[in-house]
Amino acid sequence: MSPAKSVILVTGGSGLVGKAVQWVVENDSKYGQREGEEWVYLTSKDGNLIDPAATKAIFEKYRPTHVIHLAAKVGGLFGNMAANLDYFRDNLLINDNILFNAKEFGVKKVVSCLSTCIFPDKTSYPIDETMVHQGPPHDSNYGYSHSKRMVDVMNRAYNQQYGCNFTSVIPTNVFGPHDNFHLVNSHVIPGLIHKCYLAQENGTPFIMAGTGRPLRQFIYSRDLARLFIWTLREYNEITPLILSVPEEEEVSIKQVGDSIVKAMGYTGDYRFDTSKADGQYKKTASNKKLMSLNPDFQFTPFDVALNETVDWFKENVDTIRK
């Protein structure tokens, strides 16, 4: 193998973000594959990353020079509440195995994926990168949240002790093709797309829970993938970087519903069940640091990204995770 060759290992390669990275690598003229790069997308079939021996075997096999680390044990609200210890231990083991082997095999750079749930439950807005460790996360998923915070702790320690170039990013709410469209265990956009589709198919009302007033920043998975690749190539700090659309691009849950109805061509009864809880009103994150480092990045407009996601859902409705 020539010394110029890069082997980029993507863990969690079959998930929402992993599939988006693969799409960008294969289709994007600016952020796509460069000469001398080999991209490897791991799935659970390649080995259990909770197992140290299995993880070492993967590194032995592929000898990566770079790692985009997306793999995690993830679940919905009730799954987390019932098993905080499992989410803490499993993710701690996965992350420890990846970073330890990256150090042992001389990987040049690792970019790990964190989550906005790592931020303190009681905080001021907008959230920024300096606030990660300033208070406990929300009690419902503290196990998962703390395991993700520990990635930042390990990145700093590996850098201080061994000079490793390990960093992390914190995306806001991600959506796009290859998402999990389950009606109960999915995130808000894929769940609502599926719900609207069934209302359309069955001639039943499309009813959304709550008032529709809460605000969220949604990032299209393919934009996030472009930013992951940019981070791998260009971001030179160990501290985490928030990857998000600007604060002014927050959209209300009602706007999400309206856009889904339009994209789906749904013409039936569409309303809100205001007896249901709204959840957190907002959790605004600042993308000022990202935009200061990558000022020319263009985010896909929300409606365009949503239309592409709905089109993908319709084309793949028989085979998707739902």
Do 244 and 297 contact (CB within 8 A), yes or no?
no
Nearest to 290 by CA among 218, 250, 241: 241
By C-alpha distance, which of 40, 89, 67, 284 is closest to 167? 67
* DSSP, residue by residue, 117-170: GGS-SS--SSB-GGGTTSS---GGGHHHHHHHHHHHHHHHHHHHHH---EEEEE
Which phi and psi angles does 83 have, rounded to 5°? -145, 50
How far is it, in rounded angstroms, from Cα 232 to Cα 109?
A: 7
Rounded distance, CA 321 to CA 315, Å? 13
Q: Is 253 in contact with 208 (CB distance < 8 Å)?
A: yes
Q: Please give the positions annotated as active site.
A: 144
At 67, list the tokens.
């790692």
